[in-house]
Structure 1
Amino acid sequence: MASDAMKEQMKTGQGFIAALDQSGGSTPKALRLYGIEEDAYASEDEMFDLIHEMRARIATAPAFNGEKVIGAILFEMTMDREIGGMPSATYLWKERGVVPFLKIDKGLEDEADGVRRMKPIPGLDALLDRAVAAGIFGTKERSVIDAANAKGIADVVAQQFKLGAEVLAKGLVPIIEPEVTISIPDKEAAEEILLAEIQKNLDSVPDGQQVMLKLTLPTRANLYAPLIAHPKVLRVVALSGGYARDEANAKLAENTGMIASFSRALTEGLSAQQSDEEFNAALSDAIDAIHAASIT
């Protein structure tokens, strides 16, 4: 059950959310960027051991605490493992003051109507129950928008809010993430359609409940200001979407009230080959820069 202290931190915390939720498909790339090539592991288990070591190294670094990192999104396997000798979510909240979230989507369907909808999530009910038992505050679920296609965007947003309702029913707070691909030619038009669809679907959220939104940094600054001000929205967070950290931070700083939820832009420049001193310094610099952009 989402605790009041966690909710207050999500609502008013001056910081950002770290996305530490690379799944099976994106893990090899995340490891490669971290300086671990695919020939360094022989199985999926070894691969996940290595990515967990990376996440644990980030989570235990001195700068990774609730002062600037107000939340972190975990992969299911991370939730099931330990950091610092205790369950990952417990460690994050009790030791670091970081609110834990769980990525629950199982990837994307093939593109249709200019979008990639979420695949079905088998065992969702049990997964959400496990998340509640583990002390998770909320969930994250991602779809992708590749064109300004009104039908596709309407479908993606409706699917997101339907899943969000199931998450809310368990006492968890969903982060609804309809990502707009940054490289598409009609990005701004797609974002206008997306804004209207989100506003429409927010009406379906029961009074007294709130969702979070994770959105691509918009082409037009402050496009999502009406969502940030909406009573049924706890927080609007931004994904870096492939922008390098400096560019992502510059765009984020233009959007008042939007905070970061970066993955690759957070770990940019971190390497398995760095000494702990070098690693901690590089992570601290990244956290400082993303934090500064988030509090504008």
Structure 2
Amino acid sequence: MQKEQFERMKNGRGFIAALDQSGGSTPKALEIYGIAPDTYSNEAEMFDLVHDMRTRLMTSAAFNSDSILGAILFEQTMDRKVEDLYTADYLWEKKGIVPFLKVDKGLAEETDGVQLMKPNPDLDELLQRAAERHIFGTKMRSLIKEANPEAIKQVVDQQFDVAKQIIAAGLVPIIEPEVDINSKDKEKSEVLLKEEILKQLDALNESANIILKLSIPTIADFYKELIDHPRVIRVVALSGGYTREKANRALSSNHGLIASFSRALSEGLSASQSDVDYNAMLKESIKQIYNASIT
């Protein structure tokens, strides 16, 4: 299974759906979907609602392997079922979509213009559970707001240190050092980031493989060296707060870069929509993101 999933991720046409909003971002995701905070009274009800929201999306006929290579899940989603199968098994067995898991514990406080990942002492245990649930890979996010060379080096060093732990557990890490799209020196941050990533990639063992998830660069095709690197399975792009239209336009200028969108994927979807309207909206959204991803 892993070999087949690896080939699909490396050579397939399509994009990754990011369905991994966690505790902090869940209320906002539900509200955008049309479910107000006063309609649930505790966290358990909230997570039931968000699982229903994700289940509706994953079970839609529009959500299929013709356009979607992989999907990133939140830990609770991994432990729940869709149509009587654990979510990762549903995605792969019923849809042919490769399952990933968000494994970071959120962002630490900002220091020197960046936010590192919070400590994650239970990661080995989570990786073991992920393997048992047939997860292929993981995702973890840091955030860069300023072009501070030493701080950006710290972000990349931390990401690759944890990535090696994930590789040792038999999973494929998605490394996500996001550059804030509103940063005043975004382009300079991207130059520093690419430099540090290339150093780490060149030092990796030849049996190691990673996926990079990056903000869409200011200069088109700026990440070509990363896309072509032998240790990189794929470079995917986050929408980072752009509208779907703007994210797709920027993405289509970057050859070989594919989407891993969350907000831009679910934009316009609502709990109150009929299934016909919902599925039509999702189908159109997926088509647009797919077309931007295959340039």
Q: TM-score, normalised by structure 1?
A: 0.99
Q: Which residue of 1 aligns with 2:134?
A: 135
Distance in 2 (alpha carbons) for counterparts of 1:141 and 1:45: 24
Distance in 1 (alpha carbons) for counterparts of 2:151 and 2:45: 38
Please give the secondary structure, in 2, of the residue aligned with 1:71.
Answer: strand
Cα displacement (A) at 1:121: 1.0
Q: Which residue of 1 aligns with 2:58?
A: 59
1:33-112 residue pairs with structure 2 within 5 A? 33-112=32-111
Please give the secondary structure, in 2, of the residue aligned with 1:30.
Answer: helix
Distance in 1 (alpha carbons) for counterparts of 2:62 and 2:120: 35
Structure 1 residue 182 and structure 2 residue 181: aligned?
Answer: yes
Deviations 1:33-92 (A, max 9, x none): 100110011001111110100000000000111110110000000000001111000000
Q: Which residue of 2 aligns with 1:198?
A: 197
Q: Which residue of 2 aligns with 1:119?
A: 118
* AA in 1 matched with 2:173: P
Deviations 1:196-222 (A, max 9, x none): 000011123211221000000000011
Distance in 2 (alpha carbons) for counterparts of 1:7 and 1:63: 23
State the identity %.
57
* AA in 1 matched with 2:46: M
1:1-296 residue pairs with structure 2 within 5 A? 3-296=2-295
Cα displacement (A) at 1:172: 0.4
Deviations 1:179-207 (A, max 9, x none): 00000110000000000000011123211
Can you give the 5+ residue segments of structure 2 that lack an aligned partner in the other structure? none
For the aligned residue pairs, the C-alpha RMSD in angstroms reads: 0.7
* AA in 2 matched with 1:278: D
Please give the secondary structure, in 1, of the residue aligned with 2:62.
Answer: coil
Please give the secondary structure, in 2, of the residue aligned with 1:203.
Answer: helix
Distance in 1 (alpha carbons) for counterparts of 2:178 and 2:209: 20
* AA in 2 matched with 1:147: E
* AA in 2 matched with 1:104: V
Cα displacement (A) at 1:232: 0.3
Deviations 1:141-196 (A, max 9, x none): 00000000001100000000000000000110000000000001100000000000
* AA in 2 matched with 1:55: R
* AA in 2 matched with 1:6: Q
Q: TM-score, normalised by structure 2?
A: 0.99
Distance in 1 (alpha carbons) for counterparts of 2:161 and 2:110: 20
Distance in 2 (alpha carbons) for counterparts of 1:126 and 1:267: 31
Distance in 2 (alpha carbons) for counterparts of 1:159 and 1:209: 17
Distance in 2 (alpha carbons) for counterparts of 1:26 and 1:32: 10
Please give the secondary structure, in 1, of the residue aligned with 2:175.
Answer: strand
